[in-house]
């Protein structure tokens, strides 16, 4: 059995924002195996079908609910953004969590091409986060995804400028869209294999460039991916050196740019250490394997099942 999703792509673009807020979709799918059937007649594109296995959807929703409970238990009443990291997982899984009853909106991807392909397949009510290493050659295509909420790995002035130019081009065509939010990635662990600005003047200079010279971007905050050993040792009772360093860098940026104390969030914490990150001030955590399970090899991954 399948149902037909009759909203065309242009209709999705037109109704994705309601008074500045995204509107959650309702699909009312049956309880047994079903298919989402997207007719894109106005764009002359082939019909897309997306099967959702109810048992898989139930398992994913259960995993997500468990993570939400763990987040709430340490959040002390704060609103924490939970980004479900869906890299190398099929769009079917994302749709299963985006529809009711889970109704999750924030999903993170590490690869620009994979994000673009999934964004073309899935509802525009999803808020996408690009969390992988950012390449200059991908800035234009990423910034033109209408429902890309945030690029969390900006680490150079050049890349910030490229994102700003591409987003400005999109906003000139559709001014109702929001600015593109960005995090400045800080390499708090000092590892050569990690992307990110060095803490100190370099990070401050990049933040200043975004705030003062990139009007199509919104500086949401700072992000770090800490050392693995520190992540594994992190609990709610001990400090993680990388998290401390990011807090200190945020405070430095706020002072140097004369910003409000609460205007920059911290994005830190993943599956290994998200609870400890929240207790140390994180406003956003990125959790993948606990929700979606073990990822396939990149060569074996499918955009859609």
- Measured torsion, CA atoms of residues 165, 170, 91, 232, in degrees rounded to the nearest 10: 30
Q: Are 287 and 67 in contact (CB under 8 A)?
A: yes
Query: Can you tell me the mean pLDDT for 139-153?
Result: 98
What are the sequence ranges of the domains in the chain? 56-292
Q: Which two tokens stand for residue 32?
A: 């047994």
Is the pLDDT assigned to residue 6 strictly greater than 70?
Answer: no
Q: Are 197 and 155 in contact (CB under 8 A)?
A: yes
For residue 227, what are the CA distances in angstroms to 191, 234, 247? 8, 11, 16
Q: What percentage of the chain exceeds 70 in pLDDT?
A: 84
Closest by Cα among 285, 281, 291 to 269 = 285
Q: Which residue has the higher pLDDT, 14 or 199?
A: 199
pLDDT value at residue 32 = 36
Average pLDDT, the chain: 87
* Angle 165-129-143 from CA coordinates, rounded to 5°: 15
- Interacting residues of 222 by C-beta distance below 8 A, sequence separation 6+: 183, 184, 185, 186, 203, 207, 246, 249, 250, 253, 264, 265, 266, 267
Global confidence as pTM: 0.85
The SS3 call for residue 129 is strand
Is the pLDDT assigned to residue 241 strictly greater than 80?
Answer: yes
CA–CA separation, 304 vs 93, rounded Å? 9
pLDDT value at residue 226 = 83
Is the pLDDT assigned to residue 1 strictly greater than 90?
Answer: no
Query: Can you tell me the mean pLDDT for 177-196?
Result: 94
Mind listing the pLDDT tens digit for each residue in 53-91? 999 999 999 999 999 999 999 999 999 999 999 999 999
Q: Are 89 and 295 in contact (CB under 8 A)?
A: yes
Is the pLDDT assigned to residue 19 strictly greater than 60?
Answer: no
CB atoms within 10 A of CB 140: 15
pLDDT value at residue 48 = 60
Q: What percentage of the chain exceeds 90 in pLDDT?
A: 76
Q: Which residue has the higher pLDDT, 280 or 236?
A: 280
Query: Can you tell me the mean pLDDT for 25-45?
Result: 35
Q: Which two tokens stand for residue 78?
A: 């704060």
Place 25 in a pLDDT band, splitting at 50, 70 and 90. Answer: very low
Closest by Cα among 190, 298, 202, 290 to 253 = 202
CB atoms within 10 A of CB 228: 12
Is the pLDDT assigned to residue 123 strictly greater than 90?
Answer: yes
Q: Which of 63-72, 191-200, 229-238 has the lowest mean pLDDT?
A: 229-238
Query: Can you tell me the mean pLDDT for 20-28?
Result: 36
pLDDT value at residue 233 = 84
Is the pLDDT assigned to residue 10 strictly greater than 90?
Answer: no
Place 228 in a pLDDT band, splitting at 50, 70 and 90. Answer: confident
CB atoms within 10 A of CB 38: 20
Is the pLDDT assigned to residue 110 strictly greater than 90?
Answer: yes
Mind listing the pLDDT tens digit for each residue in 253-268? 999 999 999 999 999 9
pLDDT value at residue 192 = 86
pLDDT value at residue 227 = 83
Query: Can you tell me the mean pLDDT for 222-243?
Result: 88
CA–CA separation, 91 vs 36, rounded Å? 11
Is the pLDDT assigned to residue 4 strictly greater than 50?
Answer: no
Architecture of domain 56-292: Alpha-Beta Barrel (3.20)
Q: Which class for 283: exposed (0-12), middle (13-18), buried (19 or more C-beta within 10 A)?
A: buried
CA–CA separation, 42 vs 39, rounded Å? 9
* Angle 226-232-236 from CA coordinates, rounded to 5°: 90
């Amino acid at each position: 059995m399948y149902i037909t999703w009759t909203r065309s792509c242009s209709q999705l673009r037109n109704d994705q924002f309601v008074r500045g807020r995204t509107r959650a979709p309702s699909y009312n799918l049956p309880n047994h195996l079903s298919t989402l059937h997207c007719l894109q007649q106005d764009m002359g594109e082939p019909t897309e079908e997306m099967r959702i296995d109810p048992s898989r959807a139930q398992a994913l929703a259960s995993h997500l609910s468990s993570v939400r409970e763990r987040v709430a238990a340490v959040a002390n009443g704060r609103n924490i953004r939970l980004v479900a990291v869906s890299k190398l997982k099929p769009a079917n899984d994302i749709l299963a969590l985006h529809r009711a009853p889970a109704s999750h909106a924030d999903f993170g991807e590490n690869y620009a091409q994979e994000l673009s392909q999934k964004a073309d397949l899935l509802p525009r009510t999803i808020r996408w986060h690009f969390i992988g290493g950012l390449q200059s050659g991908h800035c234009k295509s990423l910034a033109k995804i209408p429902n890309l909420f945030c690029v969390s790995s900006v680490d150079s002035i050049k890349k910030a400028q490229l994102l700003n130019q591409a987003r400005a081009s999109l906003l000139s065509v559709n001014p109702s869209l929001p600015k593109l939010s960005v995090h400045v990635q800080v390499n708090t662990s000092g590892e050569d294999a990690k992307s990110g600005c060095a803490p100190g003047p370099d990070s401050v200079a990049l933040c200043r460039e975004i705030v003062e010279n990139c009007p199509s971007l919104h500086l949401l905050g700072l992000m770090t991916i800490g050392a693995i050993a520190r992540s594994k040792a992190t609990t709610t009772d001990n400090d993680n050196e990388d998290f401390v360093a990011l807090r200190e860098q945020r405070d430095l940026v706020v002072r140097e740019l004369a910003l409000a104390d609460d205007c920059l969030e911290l994005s830190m914490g993943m599956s290994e250490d998200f609870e400890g990150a929240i207790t140390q001030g994180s406003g956003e955590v990125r959790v993948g394997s606990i929700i979606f399970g073990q990822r396939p090899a990149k060569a074996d991954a499918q955009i859609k099942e």
